Amino acid sequence: MKNVLSIQSHVVFGYAGNKSATFPMQLMGIDVWALNTVQFSNHTQYGKWTGMVIPKEQIGEILRGIDEIGELKNCDAVVSGYIGSAEQVEEIVRAFHQVKARNPNAIYLCDPVMGHPDKGCIVADGVKEGLINQAMSEADIITPNLVELRELSGLPVENFEQAVAAARAILAKGPKKVLVKHLNKAGKDRTQFEMLLANEEGIWHIGRPLHYFEREPVGVGDLTAGLFLANKLQGKSDIAAFEHTANAVNDVMQTTYQQHSYELQLIAARELIINPISRYKAVKIA
């Protein structure tokens, strides 16, 4: 059994952050230790929410408690997602160092959620800078969207070629794998939902159908990052993990679309997460 410390947001209603990542990783056979950075009533893209940011000290306290019962050595990976304050970034990096000290083989996946005010995704001041200056170089795997790809690389990304160059630039900054969760307008085909995977062996592209929702569901990136990490921890190659992730997420989106839901239908699609019916293939970029 592989174990993941998942440091992300929590929503009581709906699916985002740990609510979007934990159940799918568990379905994939991963034991998830969920540590919440915030507890909100619902995700912020509703435009209103209640709840609170967890004090940064709690991250270290939770790690200390796990360590004191001798279990930190059994943590195989840390994943971070939505972060509630700039101070939490440093605490998360410190937490990974603690895990790494107990298990040198542990890896860190950073899902660098920087916010998208136009969509109503709000993050605290200083989080973006912390992710760029502290977390990125520590990450083994980083999973940006298009906006985050620009910020992390420091490059313009307006087309596919620039997206490939930006992914390569991030690899040079420390991460061993870069999974671009959504190319959006920088993709080859705007009628497709496109993703990139870059590692030291090359760059791969995959496209799947783009579902047109009245309101785009939230938590897709959290689901994507969690599934990719789960696949890697189960021993799959980068490409096999990439393909399973893309196909499973597509089936979740198809199920969500069919049910006319604003919230991801993870429970309804639970069997498809494990065994997707979609069969889209990754293509290596020459």
Residues of the binding site for substrate: 9, 44-45, 222
Contacts of 118 (CB under 8 A, 6+ apart): none
The parts of the chain modelled with pLDDT lower than 70 are: 115-124
Confidence at residue 83, expressed as pLDDT on a 0 to 100 scale: 83
Domain borders along the chain are: 2-179+212-238
Of 208, 275, 202, nearest in space to 237 by CA: 202
CA–CA gap between residue 172 and residue 155 (Å, rounded): 13
pLDDT of residue 140: 98
pLDDT recorded at residue 44? 87
Domain 2-179+212-238 in CATH: superfamily? Ribokinase (3.40.1190.20)
Binding positions are 9, 44-45, 111, 148, 181, 222
Residue 256's pLDDT is 98
pLDDT in tens, 33-45: 999 989 999 998 8
232 contact partners, CB below 8 Å, separation of at least 6: 107, 141, 238, 241
111 with 143: CB under 8 angstroms?
yes
Q: According to the model, what pLDDT value does residue 56 have?
A: 87
Q: Name the pairing type of β-strands 2-11 and 30-40.
A: parallel
Binding-site annotation: residue ranges for ATP: 111, 148, 181
Collect all residues with Cβ–Cβ distance below 8 Å to 143 and sequence separation of at least 6: 109, 110, 111, 112, 178, 179, 180, 181, 221, 224, 225, 228
Do 97 and 108 contact (CB within 8 A), yes or no? Answer: no
Task: State residue 236's pLDDT score.
Answer: 98
d(CA 253, CA 43): 18
Q: What count of Cα atoms within 13 Å lies in the side-chain half-sphere of residue 66?
A: 21
